[in-house]
Structures are given as structure tokens and as C-alpha cells.
Structure 1
């Protein structure tokens, strides 16, 4: 029987300074051979020559009168560049100021701030190259340059890729560091003057350190890249939709009407192509008819004429409002779960709107209308393998944290850009081997870490479907869904620097599938369309998986309106489970599957309510970096009577928090680490710093067969420098009755926090502030011979003095209270 979730309200039992346990470095060779620097000398000789030639060519190519100039050297190191230890040294010693870090901290773009000190750098390199035998008479070789693998000048070719003209583009600017601020401001002022003189339409967006240009010619872009030395990259800048073919299903009418939700029901902001009011959604749309500030295209946010026929935002909005109630067929009056706000950012008759306009619309919707849930199902380009976070994703992450907005943006991961796979002709790799291609990476801005990214399964919610399409099962990932662009297997990171928690998409949801001939008339999912006489059409895409999740978030907020959106995110991810894949996936490495599947597909019932034997406990609290705290979790005594000895309780725990990101620094983009663990009933001193093993049932064969993960002490380990930190973590494990009895029916939940080890002293000072987090722990009692002997829900509530979450369903809450 459904019951409200429970809230842990007690403060931390014990607090202290977090101590990281020492790590065993492994066996080290006793005698290291003398290094052979000959190959490095040859490389440096080549790099020096190329650098000098490229610098001379760049200076000669400058054709405009610009009041200041900056040159940049891009250095790749053999290992992670330690910002905290080396950044000041490179600045003071060599006149180099770091303005961007990528390749997981191994590659740094430096601005040459002091020409005289930079000559010291060049002279040091030249002295090394000119030494007849390695180091010769140099008694004190400069160890800093031995850390360098390669270096090059940042040139126009690096800044400006192949771009069609005329184009809408995004100019990404270097980080405006204090040491180059004067030159930066002078160059930026000259850049704006040039754009004005050329009548180029542009908008500067300081919030993500970019400038957006519209309808600019390639020759003008070359002139910009040649002369204005604050640009480090130029990208095509077009929002778009990807749908490889559309097939309608003729119907006589929409077939349903909408029952309006309560006035205080959540509002979902649909950032898309508009929502047609010539559909049953009309009365759900809260946009004004005139002077609508959420129509960013000037084409009417209540009109959806994308591609002149089929629309896109309308289909997304229908799912967001009703979720699974529209399936398998919409009939009669259907209760809507949310109101709809159309934030129209795309129309095929106008240019792409600016990132700043999108930012302002989201902020306005939050502050003026209380909108906390958004869908973003349009995207930019495909992300390259191991690429840094895009400007748009950065802006969305900042919105969720720095601007103090308690919001959650459900972002579509994007659809593949390869041709639909034809198994009959085998024109390209068959499903699912096609996922290996970089063309199937997620799209900008799906890498946003403070928000929720959604991929798709093949399910189209037709229970009678006999043809599963390309996927052998509807629970499998859809052919078009996209994978995380971060590939640790090709990153060059050591095993200790990789993070198994890191990845996008976060989850998958229903998006339909393609048939073997590439069509989707049977296997596609039915969506609303504003096309006259069409009403419904068969479609596929992560665009339609995403609003299902927004609808689920709205239903959670309706039940528990006081929860933070990070808790809503944690509830959704916590309920997810991975599909049991068949042998068609056998050839794919597990690391690739993790990049495709995320945490799996959510279970709506587990998101929304607990039961007598499956209980969700929510802990919303905060922690200061470099600290640790513990919470006591007690279990009811009736468990000792259970006939089940092993695997008695299954735990699923998820942690989410939002952070203020650091732009241009891939290795420190997430500057704060928070992790959790569930431990034996020990005091804080025994948990802290000693790496004590967690509760685990590791000898149970059943555990392995069920696929439960055996817990490591902490959900995430920040010990090794250069490790990408993740703000979304999930673990699952089981414990046996013996573990419960040995610990006197009591476990300890511990949460620790640290700052990223690569932060500078100034950055550490800026981030040494309280961070809020949400921890969701779902505990499932597993019966003995299908028999339960008590209520885990009631027992946990009484033993821990847990609070029943306030819900809008008074009957549900009253029923839960009456049973205690």
C-alpha cells in the first residue's frame, strides 16, 4: 500500500575535520635507470622551430589596428598540471598565465603576459635542446620543463574550424585573468567597435564569457581570429532538432480533453518551438495572448509551426502535461498533472535566439511564476570525445547554483546523427555496435551537471506491440539515443583518476524505436501535432523521453511541494534500474554501456511513494568542505525473526548537490567533492580517515546473481589529483541479518566533503562555504519464502523519529499515520 516518503530531520550526530586515508602506492622500483632525454630534445627542437615560425606568421597576418595584442602557448603535460602548485610558478617564472585547462588537466592554454619572462622559458628550452649529452654540465636542470610533453602556438587554424557561410556562430573568449585584464578590456572594446563598423549583429554574454554573432561571413571570421587575441574558439551556434524521418498516423480527432490541474500545481517551462493552442493543451498554456515576454522569437509562443507542418514543442508539451496517461490511446477527459509555460526559442522563420535571452526567460519564469521544472529538448552540436563543458551548459549550471534558482532542467541527450541502421544492407555497424562512434555522443548542452539529462529506451508504451524494432527488448536503449562524450578509456587518465560515477545521460525514458527499414510507423511513440487533420503522429527521440521525466518531477512536487529540486533529481535517479541486456551487447565493453545507459530507467511508483516493505528516506542537509558528519540509522527489532539470513535488506542510495562551476577548467569544473557511505555502528573517529570497510554481504552468491554492486567505503573518492568529481552518485548493495544483529540494529550514514585538490589558494577560499546536499536512501526488505513479518516503514519511522512528508494527498498521509 502506497505511503508518503519519510524525512530524516535529526542533525548530524557527530562532526569533524575529514581525514583522507593514505593510499598504498604499490611496489616501486628500487633503482630507476638514468633517463634518456634524447627523444625529448628532438621533440622540443621541432616544437621550438614550429612555435617561432607560427608566431611570426600570426604577427604578420594582423591586418587591423588593435590597441593591444596577446599570444598564447598551448602546453600538453605528461600528467595533470597542478594548478595549486605550478600555476603561480609558471606565471612568476615564465610570464605565463593559465586561461584554459582541458584534456583532463593535462593541457593548458597560457597567455604570454610578460615577454621578458617568457624569453626565460624559451631560453630554458633552447638550453635543454642544445645540450650535447642529456643535461651535460647543467648541474641544476629545470625540472618544470621536464614535465612538458609538447607545446604549440594558438593559431587562427586552431581558433576557427570549417564553418559554412554566412553563419550564426559563438565566439568563446579566454578567461579574463587579472594579469591580462588591461589588454583583455582594450581588445574587447576594439572587437565591439569592429563588429559595429561591419554591421554584424551580435550580443555579448558575460554570464558565459561568449559573444554570439548572426549571419557573419567566413572572411569576417578569419579577420576576427587573426586580429582580436581574446578568442580561443569559434563554434557554429544553431539550436536544432534531429529527427530522421516522420510518419503520421491518420486519426479523426485528438480523442481527449484536458481536465485542468489545481491552481497550485507545478508549472513546466517548455523551452522549445512553441505550444499550439489549437489542441487540447490550450487551457493549460499560461502564456498571455499579447506582449508575451516568453516569446523570444516574435512569432507567438502559442503557435508551433516548426517545419511548417508537424511542430515539436506541442508534442513535448503534451507528454509533459499528461505523462503516461496519454498511452496507449488518449480517450475521454484526462487529468493534467501540470500547467504549461511556452518559452519559444526556435522557429524556422527567424534566427537563433541568444543564450542570454534564454537565461533571462528562465530567471523570469522562476521569480515571477514560480516555475521550477523546465524541459530543454533542442540542442546544439554533437560534443567531441572528451571535450570540455560548453558555454551553454556552463550557463545552465550557473543558473541552478550561482543565481540561487531552485530549478531542474530536464535536458534531452540528443539523437544520433548517423543514418538509420539498415540491417538488411548492413550499410553501417548494426545495433548496438554503432554506439561506439563519436557521432553518437550527447549534444550541447546535455553535459550540464546541475541538471538532469535524459536518453531514450525503445519503449513506445504500446503493450500489444509485437515488433520491438531494432532493439530486441523495449527496455533496451533506443537506436538513436546518445552516449556520454567522456571516454575514460581514451582519456589517458590512470585507473585511480577515473570516476565511475561520472557520466551523462543520467537516466533513460520511453522514446520509441525504429524498425529495420528505418521507419517508425509501428514502433514510434505517438505525439500530439498541431498539423490540421493530423492530430497525432508517430515519432521517436530523446525529445519525447525528456518530458516524461519532467512530468514525473511535477508529480513529485505535487506530492511533496517543499522538497528541493536536487532532492527531486535524487528521487528520480534513485528509482532507476538498469535493463538486463542480452548477448547482442556482449561485444561492447562495460565502460561504453555505462556511457549509454546512465543509471537506467526510473520507476514512477518508487519516486512517488514508499510501501510497508520498501521505504524511501530523504535527508536534506548541508556540509562545509573539509568536514565530515554522521547520522544514525536504526532498524526495527522484528528483523531478527526473519527466516532470511542473507541479503535481507537491499539499499539504494543517491546523493545530489549543485555547485558553482569553474569555466575553462575541465579538471576543476566541479570544484567541490561530497560523498557518502553507510558504515557499521562505530563512532566518527573510527569511520574518519581509516578507510574502514562498509556494511557488505560479499559472500552471498545470490547478491552477485542479482547484480547488486558490492559497496566501496565511499560513493566517491577525491584522493587522486586530476579526478573528475561528480555531483550525482548512486550505490546499491545488500546486507544480511548477521550484519544487522552484529551492529545492534544500527548503521551510521556518513557524509564527507573536500575541495578539489587542484584549486589554487584563492579558489579554495572562495569555495570554503556551506554546500547543501540531498541524500535519498531507499531500503527494501526482502521476504523469506514470500512472507513478511512486520512493517519496515513503521519500524524505521518509530526507531528514527522520521517525519512523514507533507503531501497534497491528505488521505494518503492520514492512512500512513493511522497505521503507526
Structure 2
């Protein structure tokens, strides 16, 4: 076993030029479109808009110093911010404040009433027009892109919540055109809440206000009068764990042992960690004045449900991984210390996002905590719903602090067995929206974990619902972005964008719902119980955190995006049996993510499988190439085809853009593996796929090796992804043709929907990591030499351990 390699050779850099794929001029359509139905729709929309606006004005009963209305416009296609945002502002007085439906629906603030009157006049002109030829139109042609429009009303903002108590108000962002009005209304809202003794907290980081113990009447009054609110949702957390059928064990039977070297600390954002268990000596929390006890109920007590606890079980797995189970005895070496960030307690109000964010920041600053586990969740996400405020906050934290939060994807909340005693139709049930991930599992800078049925105890895995241990567990959840949705075009979809990122051990249920034989064995703080069998993605997530801690234990100076890349790159998508045939490929992709990580591959390389880490940065508009040579001994192998298998994973963090679904990730970084070519050829695009100008059909596969680019940012509105993985096979002929050398190519661009102002803000180098795994597959298992040593020598690579030693020596010298 060997330490992983680090690529230290400098890249070649050039400007990136993306070739044009647009075909030649298409024949002009001589038929005049029939605008009569659109005119009728606009007429009805205008009448309703004016009526709703008058009613909203009448519903304002409080002396608020300023008001602002919002119009929601749905477009026939993607709203191009870069092209149209300034025109809508200057011509119509409209400022975009929120986008959803993949930038096909935009919420605009009416920032200038005089200019907005121009919009209404142009609508009337269109309704009354009888000439629509381009040179005869008596209305603004931009209206032709509009499918419909409506006022944002109180019923739109306030969902059907029977007895509101704790809620979150989502606010409009601070845009230059409406900043003074927004701040004036915010001040009035704060005064109202204080005078009515409603507990509240502004969360500036994600543009929300959190309210506690608010009545329905008060909430309705707030929505009717204070025009800074775009939506309201319940302010609630819940633990991610199905109902229990557990059977407990008789004793703890083990004692933690700390290694001689420093080990990472894992922050457990949960229901507390009981110090009445062997975990006590691993807990870093102070016994008094604990800033990480967000519920003020003692972070060293786990009294969830007053019985089993939840955080303690999660913490046990995070600290020990697969070493901890009901039959463990004696001394067991811990892989991590524990910090209990108690964010949930029975009969206590939901803690604020600010409190969670501040606790994470404090833990990172004061204790150097870089790994966190989050197994409490909010709502199940609707199909194609934009990213939540909490997920946005967690993405910001990961971007700013170099941390990694392992987030449970969420469990199915409906009963597995219906009133007639029938089990859900596994695995067909995955297609239902009820099995979508839970917020904030859509966080993109962090690592989202679903569950497989494996309970780590082969002899006990009997009578489970899943036919195989590596199959996704029945309760695991899928990504909420529906690739089969009519609102998401093929040009916008991105198969690399998926949550959960990976799957890990979570246990299974039997067809009766029981899990006493098929569940994972976890610690419980209940006196006399010690261990209980459980299931859930909330137990898969800490397994991954433990794996991350072990990687950091081996290579302490790695960035957390590199740790993420190593974990994802080690994963293998499970092979599913015929029971999954009825489930579409897009749904399976959303369930399986990038697959199941391999612990040995994450930690070490071997003679015949080498992992190479490439860490660097790239500016938008640049292309960079990195040559990778393969050892000469491969050319005398008896195997001609499929000699080498490559797995490559790219990870990078980004500063997200809130309230903009299609530009939430505003930066494209993608990679490809090319044959042995000059940078000038690659940068010019000459080696990309070639297209016929008349038919736009591909005429050449270019000079790329097998896979092409990891993601394609060509089309406006494309959903960009910051975790990408690809794999391919190389034979001996390709090695000979390319003189044993391949070129890894990175390119970066802005999202094509960014405005010039946004581009200026993001015009900076973005760090990235590519994990490259090369696996030799010789004929009949007859290896000739060490692939690891061969790659290290011909590329002049260092090991991660050598790099750590060099950096430590430099730090000591300074």
C-alpha cells in the first residue's frame, strides 16, 4: 500500500475559444404567426393583474413607510439576464429579484412606476395591434417572448399552513434600485415584530427572517403589509430516521483509544451526544458555558424522544466507522474526536440558521473543525424546486471556510406499509416526488449521502426488501431535479448534477417493516440498552464523515474539496438486478448518484492502482493542460484492449448566487482527456467535435479520448455542476499512437446568463481538484511491473506524505 501521488508539474495555459455549433441560416418561415390567442391571454392577464394590484393596495392596513409590488413573468424560453436585464430595467422599470423554473419564470420588482406604466401601455398596444410584421409593430418586440404575467399576491406568498407557529420568511435580495425601499420596509417590519412581542431573527447571510410563535392572523398581516417577502415556509427541523423497530444489545463492551498522532474533530449537528457512553472522552464540548449548545439543554445530553437518542448513534459511527457494532469489545481506536453542536431538542423551538452558521464558524476557527455531519432536515423538496435558504447558507460556509458537511439526503416519510398491509412497490416508488431529497441536502459545495441496504453484517442480512446489499435502501431519497420534466429542456439538463452524491451503509427493512435483523447497529444513550438496530440516511452520512476523517488523518493538509473528490472518485455505481428495469435511467441516476465509495481506494494506492491528486486554480476564459505519461512496460503487456481503466473526478467550490436557479453555480469548470496534442490545437477548438454547417450533425469525434468534456456549458441556461466524474478504458494501441502520453484539459467560463456586473465580481481564479485513478487490468492477472512506481517516476510526482513533510518543514523554517 502506498500514499497517493500529487501532481506538481506546471500546466500550459491559454485563452479558451469555444467553437460555434450554430448551423447555417435556416429557411425563413413565411407564415405569419397567429397572435390572437396570445392577445386574448394578455388581455385576461392584464385585467387580473390590475384587479389583484388594487386588492393588494386595499389589504395594506398598517402605516408602513414604503411599498413595492412584484410582477411574475413566465417566458417561452430561458430569460437571458445578460441580454435583457438592462432593457427591462430601463424600458419597463423592472428589476429581477428571483428566478425559478430554470430561468423561465422571473419575479420582478416594480422599481419605477413611471417606466412600469410603459410596460402596461405596451401590453395594451400589443392587445390592440392588428399588424405584427417586424417593421410595422406598434409595440415593444420584447413582449413576444412573454408567455404570461401576474402580480405576486398574498396567497402566492403564504401557503396553506393551518396553525403557523415557527416560520421562515424569504426576503428579496438587496438590489441597487430597491435598496432604500427594502431597508425602510425591513425597519418597519422589525418594529412591528417587536411591538407585537413576536420573537424574530434576521438572517442576513441567506436573506430570511425566522419567526417563532406567530399566529395565523399576525402572519397574514405581515404578508399583506410588508412588501419584502417572496414566500413563507415552516421553520422546522426533524431528525432523519424512520420509525423504530429496534432490538437493543446488553452492554457497550468497548473502550475508545486515541492514537498517538492528532486526529480530526467532527462536528455533529444533531440532538446532542450523550456523555453517559464510551464517547464521553471523545467529546470536545466544555461542561459549562458551551457555545455549541444551541438549544440550551446541554449538548452532552441526547434526550431525543426521551428514549433512544439520535445524535449519539450518529456520533458513534462518525468516530469509529464500521469498527463500532453490537459485538465490538475491548479497546477500539477512534478515528476522530467529536464536537456536539446541539441544534434540535424535543419541545424546544427550532434554532435559527444564524445560530447554526455561527457555531460552524466558531468550531472551524477555534478548534479547526473541517468535517461536519448534518442529519436533521427541513421539508421534502418539490420537483424542480430552487435551492433553499439553508442549503445556500451551507454552501457559503463551505466556500469561505474550507470545510465539508456530510449531509443526509433524507428518508422517505410515508409509511412503507399501507392500510391494507401492502408494502410500497420497491423500487418503482423511487419515481414519486414523495421520495425526493430533503432540504438542505441540495447543497452543492458539500457532500450529500444516500443509503444502501447493507448493514455491514453479512450473516444478519436476511429477508431484506432489497435483493442485494448494494442496492439503494427503500427509504433513501432521490434528487428533486426531474430530467423528464417539461420545464427542463435537453439543453439545460446536466446529468452530472445529481444528489445524493454517493451512497453508503444504512441498513434495510424486512417486508413487515421490521429492522431488528437488517438494521445498522448504533449506540443509544438509553440506560441498559447500549446498542440498537436502526436504518436511515442519517447513519450513512456519518460513515462518510468517518471516511473523510481517516483521509485527513493520512493527509492532513488536503483541502476539503480534495477530500470530497477522493471519496467520489473511489465510488462505484452498484449493479442492479432486473427488479430495477421498470425504473427510468434518469430516476436511477438521481437515486444512485456517483455510487458507493471504497474505503481502501480512498486511503491508499497500490502497485497496480494509482490515485493522483491534481490541485490548481483557473480563471474564467482560460484553458489549461496537464500531461500524464504512462510507463513503457505497458507496451509489452499481452493484453491489447482494456489494459487501463481511468476514473477522474473534478470538484471545486463556488460562491453561489441566491434566488437565481439557473446561475446558482455561476462558474463552469470542466475537463476532458485528450490525446497527445499541442495546447494551441486544443485551445482553438480544432480538436473538438466537428459539425456540418447545414445540418449541424457531428462529422467528427475530434481528438478527445473516449469521454469528451465532463460537462457542456455551450447553451444558455445550462445547469452547471461542481462535482463531475467520468471514466474510460485505454488499450495498448492508443498508448502506442500517443507515445504513452495523454493530456488532461481544464476549461473555465462564466455562465452565459451572467450580467457584466456579475462577471466582474466573479473574475477571479477558482481552485479545483481532479482526482485521477488509473487501474491496470492485465491479461490473466499477470502483472509485469508496478504501475504506481512507473507513473511516479516518468511524471516526476511526489507523494502526498512527502508534500506534507515539505510544507511542514517550510512552516517550521518560517
**Counterpart selection for 2:593 from 594, 598, 601:** 598
The 5 A counterparts of 1:444-459 are 444-459=439-454
Give, in whole Å, the separation in 2 of the partners of 1:302 and 1:43. 61
Aligned residue number for residue 127 of structure 1: 125
Give the stretch that moved more between structures: 568-577 or 163-172. 163-172
Is 2:741 aligned against 1:743?
no
**Does structure 1 retain, via aligned residues, the 8 Å contact 2:241–2:538?**
no
Is 2:425 aligned against 1:426?
no
Give, in whole Å, the separation in 1 of the partners of 2:465 and 2:788. 42
Deviation of 1:243 (Å):
3.2
**Counterpart selection for 1:281 from 279, 282, 285:** 279
**Does structure 1 retain, via aligned residues, the 8 Å contact 2:556–2:804?**
no
Give the stretch that moved more between structures: 749-758 or 327-336. 327-336
Q: Deviations over 1:624-648 (max 9, x none)?
A: 1110111111111101100111111
Deviation of 1:558 (Å):
0.3
**Does structure 2 retain, via aligned residues, the 8 Å contact 1:442–1:485?**
yes
Aligned residue number for residue 10 of structure 1: 9
- From the superposition, tell whether residues 262 and 83 of structure 1 become closer, same or farther in structure 2 (CA, over 3 Å): farther
Aligned residue number for residue 363 of structure 2: 365
In structure 1, the residue corresponding to 2:458 is in which secondary structure?
Answer: coil
Aligned residue number for residue 381 of structure 1: 379
Aligned residue number for residue 110 of structure 1: 108
- From the superposition, tell whether residues 341 and 136 of structure 1 become closer, same or farther in structure 2 (CA, over 3 Å): closer
**Does structure 2 retain, via aligned residues, the 8 Å contact 1:242–1:417?**
no
Is 2:433 aligned against 1:435?
no
Q: Deviations over 1:762-814 (max 9, x none)?
A: 1000100011001100001111111111111011000000001117999xxxx
Deviation of 1:327 (Å):
4.0
Q: Deviations over 1:107-158 (max 9, x none)?
A: 1000011111111111111111122465799445422000001111000001
- From the superposition, tell whether residues 26 and 422 of structure 1 become closer, same or farther in structure 2 (CA, over 3 Å): farther
The 5 A counterparts of 1:660-699 are 660-690=655-685, 692=687
Deviation of 1:422 (Å):
6.0
**Counterpart selection for 2:457 from 458, 462, 472:** 462
**Does structure 2 retain, via aligned residues, the 8 Å contact 1:268–1:372?**
yes
Q: How many residues align?
A: 791
Deviation of 1:330 (Å):
1.5
**Does structure 2 retain, via aligned residues, the 8 Å contact 1:187–1:228?**
yes
Give, in whole Å, the separation in 1 of the partners of 2:246 and 2:278. 19
Give, in whole Å, the separation in 1 of the partners of 2:604 and 2:548. 13
Instruction: Flag as ranges the 4+ runs of structure 1 deviating above 3 A.
Output: 24-32, 132-141, 421-427, 709-712, 807-810
Deviation of 1:255 (Å):
1.8
Deviation of 1:677 (Å):
1.0
Is 2:636 aligned against 1:641?
yes
**Does structure 1 retain, via aligned residues, the 8 Å contact 2:255–2:332?**
yes
In structure 1, the residue corresponding to 2:338 is in which secondary structure?
Answer: strand
Aligned residue number for residue 570 of structure 2: 575
**Does structure 2 retain, via aligned residues, the 8 Å contact 1:243–1:540?**
yes
Deviation of 1:425 (Å):
4.0
Is 2:217 aligned against 1:219?
yes
Q: Deviations over 1:28-65 (max 9, x none)?
A: 45535221111111111111111111111111111111
- From the superposition, tell whether residues 362 and 419 of structure 1 become closer, same or farther in structure 2 (CA, over 3 Å): same
Deviation of 1:262 (Å):
3.8
Aligned residue number for residue 765 of structure 1: 760
Is 2:330 aligned against 1:332?
yes
In structure 2, the residue corresponding to 1:780 is in which secondary structure?
Answer: strand
Aligned residue number for residue 655 of structure 1: 650
**Counterpart selection for 1:496 from 491, 495, 500:** 491
Give the stretch that moved more between structures: 35-44 or 311-320. 35-44
**Does structure 2 retain, via aligned residues, the 8 Å contact 1:468–1:474?**
no
Give, in whole Å, the separation in 1 of the partners of 2:496 and 2:103. 19
Give the stretch that moved more between structures: 712-721 or 366-375. 712-721
Q: Deviations over 1:645-672 (max 9, x none)?
A: 1111100000000000001111111011
**Counterpart selection for 1:774 from 769, 774, 779:** 769
The 5 A counterparts of 1:787-802 are 787-802=782-797
In structure 2, the residue corresponding to 1:512 is in which secondary structure?
Answer: coil
Aligned residue number for residue 411 of structure 1: 407
**Does structure 1 retain, via aligned residues, the 8 Å contact 2:707–2:728?**
no
**Does structure 1 retain, via aligned residues, the 8 Å contact 2:471–2:576?**
yes
- From the superposition, tell whether residues 217 and 710 of structure 1 become closer, same or farther in structure 2 (CA, over 3 Å): farther
**Does structure 1 retain, via aligned residues, the 8 Å contact 2:248–2:533?**
no
Deviation of 1:329 (Å):
2.6
**Counterpart selection for 2:801 from 800, 803, 806:** 806
Deviation of 1:712 (Å):
3.3
In structure 2, the residue corresponding to 1:207 is in which secondary structure?
Answer: helix
Give, in whole Å, the separation in 2 of the partners of 1:136 and 1:550. 60
CA RMSD of aligned residues (A): 1.8
Deviation of 1:260 (Å):
1.8
- From the superposition, tell whether residues 710 and 547 of structure 1 become closer, same or farther in structure 2 (CA, over 3 Å): farther
Aligned residue number for residue 167 of structure 1: 165
Aligned residue number for residue 46 of structure 1: 44
**Counterpart selection for 1:529 from 524, 528, 549:** 524
- From the superposition, tell whether residues 60 and 471 of structure 1 become closer, same or farther in structure 2 (CA, over 3 Å): same
The 5 A counterparts of 1:34-73 are 34-73=32-71
Give, in whole Å, the separation in 2 of the partners of 1:328 and 1:24. 62
Give, in whole Å, the separation in 1 of the partners of 2:24 and 2:787. 44
Give, in whole Å, the separation in 1 of the partners of 2:114 and 2:366. 54
Deviation of 1:520 (Å):
0.9
**Does structure 1 retain, via aligned residues, the 8 Å contact 2:673–2:707?**
no
Give, in whole Å, the separation in 1 of the partners of 2:209 and 2:239. 23
**Does structure 1 retain, via aligned residues, the 8 Å contact 2:502–2:568?**
yes
Give, in whole Å, the separation in 1 of the partners of 2:707 and 2:492. 16
The 5 A counterparts of 1:250-265 are 250-262=248-260, 264-265=262-263
Give, in whole Å, the separation in 1 of the partners of 2:447 and 2:761. 26
Give, in whole Å, the separation in 2 of the partners of 1:198 and 1:39. 49
- From the superposition, tell whether residues 9 and 808 of structure 1 become closer, same or farther in structure 2 (CA, over 3 Å): closer
Give the stretch that moved more between structures: 327-336 or 84-93. 327-336
**Counterpart selection for 1:550 from 545, 550, 563:** 545
In structure 2, the residue corresponding to 1:495 is in which secondary structure?
Answer: coil
- From the superposition, tell whether residues 445 and 136 of structure 1 become closer, same or farther in structure 2 (CA, over 3 Å): closer
**Does structure 2 retain, via aligned residues, the 8 Å contact 1:100–1:665?**
yes
- From the superposition, tell whether residues 148 and 345 of structure 1 become closer, same or farther in structure 2 (CA, over 3 Å): same
Give, in whole Å, the separation in 1 of the partners of 2:681 and 2:135. 53
**Does structure 2 retain, via aligned residues, the 8 Å contact 1:248–1:536?**
no
Give the stretch that moved more between structures: 518-527 or 593-602. 518-527
**Does structure 1 retain, via aligned residues, the 8 Å contact 2:623–2:746?**
yes
Give, in whole Å, the separation in 1 of the partners of 2:514 and 2:613. 44
TM normalised by structure 2 equals 0.95
Give, in whole Å, the separation in 2 of the partners of 1:794 and 1:247. 51
In structure 1, the residue corresponding to 2:464 is in which secondary structure?
Answer: coil
Aligned residue number for residue 88 of structure 1: 86
- From the superposition, tell whether residues 713 and 332 of structure 1 become closer, same or farther in structure 2 (CA, over 3 Å): same
Deviation of 1:352 (Å):
0.9
Deviation of 1:356 (Å):
0.4
- From the superposition, tell whether residues 47 and 166 of structure 1 become closer, same or farther in structure 2 (CA, over 3 Å): closer
**5+ unaligned residues in a row in structure 1: which ranges?**
695-708, 811-820
Give, in whole Å, the separation in 1 of the partners of 2:485 and 2:447. 25
In structure 2, the residue corresponding to 1:497 is in which secondary structure?
Answer: coil
